[in-house]
Amino acid sequence: MKTPIYMDYSATTPCDPRVVQRMLPFFTETFGNSASRSHAFGWTAEAAVDHAREQVAALIGAHPKEILWTSGSTEANNLAIKGVAQMYRQKGNHLITAVTEHKAVLDPMKYLETQGFEVTFLPVNRLGHVDLEQLAFAMTDRTILVSLMAANNEIGTLHPLAKIGALCKQKGVLFHTDATQAPGKIELDVESQHIDLLSLSAHKLYGPKGVGCLYVRRKNPRVRLVSQMDGGGHERGMRSGTLNITGIVGMGEAAAIAKTELHSEVQKLLGLRARLQMRIMNSLPDSVVNGDQDARLPHLTNISFPYVEGESLIMGIKEIAVSSGSACTSASLEPSYVLKGLGLGDELAHSSIRFSLGRFTTEAEVDFAADRVIAEVNRLRAMSPLWEMVQEGIDLSQVKWTSH
């Protein structure tokens, strides 16, 4: 077993070797531009792009023409949210999302607030769920878009997409979901779940980095967007720019594998996660699993270790690659806003670690990681005066701390 061991699959995944094999010819042999309509190099590239569209569409139950290529989910989210806001501004200026969304949804929403749009940021409960009655109540005749993620990237909590979609359809409001964490882990079907726009990133499903897509519904209703990138009119005029053919081919292959292997992979991941979580919780029974333990992604567990500082723990288990929050925001020293949104105090939020397992994780790695975490938490607690006080039965919430 080689170290370091990778347990941060929610941040990114390695390219599946099958994906790499499919991509290789498009770097050197079939390197044409799919917009070159006058020769065989362009035609070959265009055929490869169309095939990848079919593969990605099949993964989410869409039509191939409804797939727009982007550089990843961040761009797809921006195109969906800003594109809808600008296109439907005459109809209304109100959008709805939740406080635990990824920054790639929250930041475009905050930008739109500076442009005169109104945004409702719904709270979540202790498990990370929005209240559907609260969502329905928040919708008005000026609401044009609801954006709620399929699965949370830090705690794994799943939103009930079909119920949210049905509610939006009933109210005549467009529904966008950032499904970045979901493919290959849960079933996605844009028809039965009433999804109008859906964002995906290849690098979260064993494809290459720097490519993703946005699903845009063509009928019932036909969704229209204002493009955020102009020049050349590629992708039905909604996203100009020469297509990243190699990346797109890779994303198509990754999507096809994710669809075929979904059930076997989920079973494997559930088993590995249960093994990791059980070993840790049995040895450190005062630890806390964050989020919904039932309705969550199969490969992810987010655990708080009270009286231990998360960053110190990560430094102490250098042989294991884990994270203390979202990879996109972990450069900040603030405790995770997702965990704060669940109602966790700063101390508990600061002591949390996200473990996310994947296609190439082994039982031996899980056992090694659990043992290292247990040993390091015990070592750090042995140095903590707060832990000592708790062991003596002192209720820390009743302690009057004095400052000099």
Catalytic residues: 328
Burial 377-392, CB ≥16 within 10 A → b, else e: beebbeeeeebeebee
> Quick one: which of 2, 6, 4 has its CA closest to 360?
6
Give the max Cα distance, the chain: 80
Q: Using alpha carbons, list the distances in angstroms from residue 194 to 60, 201, 236, 262.
A: 12, 21, 22, 21
Check whether the bond before 335 is cis (ω within 30° of 0). Answer: no
What's the one-letter identity of residue 365?
A: E
Spatial contact of 44 and 32, defined as CB atoms under 8 Å apart: yes
Spatial contact of 353 and 322, defined as CB atoms under 8 Å apart: yes
Dihedral sign, CA of 98, 99, 101, 102? positive
Location of structure tokens 């869409």: 62
Phi/psi at 204 (5° precision) = -95, -5
Spatial contact of 81 and 93, defined as CB atoms under 8 Å apart: no
What's the one-letter identity of residue 97?
A: T
304 sits in which H/E element: strand 300-304
Separation between Cα atoms, residue 132 and residue 347, nearest integer Å: 30
- Residue 244, Cβ density class (10 Å: 0-12 exposed, 13-18 middle, ≥19 buried): buried
3-state secondary structure (DSSP) of residue 121: strand
3-state secondary structure (DSSP) of residue 174: strand
